[in-house]
A and B are shown apart, each in its own frame.
Chain A
Amino acid sequence: SHLLVVEPEKIYAMPDPTMPDGDIKALTTLCDLADRELVVIIGWAKHIPGFSSLSLADQMSLLQSAWMEILVLSIVFRSLACEEELVYAEDYVVDEEHARLSGLLDLHVAILPLVRRYKKLSMEREEFVTLKAIALANSDSMHIEDVEAVQRLQDSLHEALQDLEGAHNTEDPRRAGKLLMTLPLLRQTAAKAVQHFYSIKVQGKVPMHKLFLEMLEAKA
């Protein structure tokens, strides 16, 4: 219930109406959106019980590892009500045709299997917020100073997921496990997304804000 309360407000993509449609516009819109979402994600992480008592260095390491998984999981959750469309933001819903026309097809095709996976499970909001926090705590950064403190954070979030399923989904005793088994696909999908945006950064045709660049470089 705490994670539900601290769940961030929606943010909007607000594509620049003066830019001509095409891949530069689409990528500029997504990079700008991602930069603003990162600010929100960093603020959100601080409200996860136990996160702020980690050292600053460990907080940074977890976020630098997991930020794209958190972004992707959020897009996927927003897209659960749609058919083969990705809801990057409420005002930026992309279908396959739009994705093709705006150079987003690789990303689109990479993310859809995850949408299908969570649709099959009918992931609920409570499960989404818990899994998002678990993805952060379970990010397998190579640079953790206090491994035991991070383990305690993982344990408390794991316990929250089990409590949730124990209370609400008693008809399927394996539901928590089924949700956790989606995390490898989330990591794989986020890695593809990072690669996609890293190659866009290298091409240099799309402006990127400093925080997004900083987080991309941390994954390089």
Chain B
Amino acid sequence: KEKHKILHRLLQNST
């Protein structure tokens, strides 16, 4: 997951 942190962050954003 550390390797894919932008995807992870964008999916977690509520909008």
Contact = CB atoms under 8 A, between A and B. Distances in A.
Interface of A: 39, 42-43, 46, 56-57, 59-60, 63-64, 210-211, 214-215, 217-218
B4 A46 contact: no
Interface string B1-15: 101111110111001
A182 to B, nearest CB: 27
Nearest to A63: B7
Contacts of B6: 210-211, 214
A56 B3 contact: no
A217 B3 contact: yes
Contacts of A43: 10, 15
Given A60-B4, A215-B7, 12 more contacts: A42-B7, A43-B10, A59-B11, A60-B1, A60-B7, A60-B8, A60-B11, A63-B11, A64-B4, A211-B6, A211-B7, A211-B10
A215 B4 CA distance: 8
Contacts of A59: 11
B11 A214 contact: no
A56 B4 contact: no
Contacts of B3: 214, 217-218
A210 B10 CA distance: 13
A56 B10 contact: no
A42 B1 CA distance: 16
Contacts of B11: 42, 46, 56, 59-60, 63
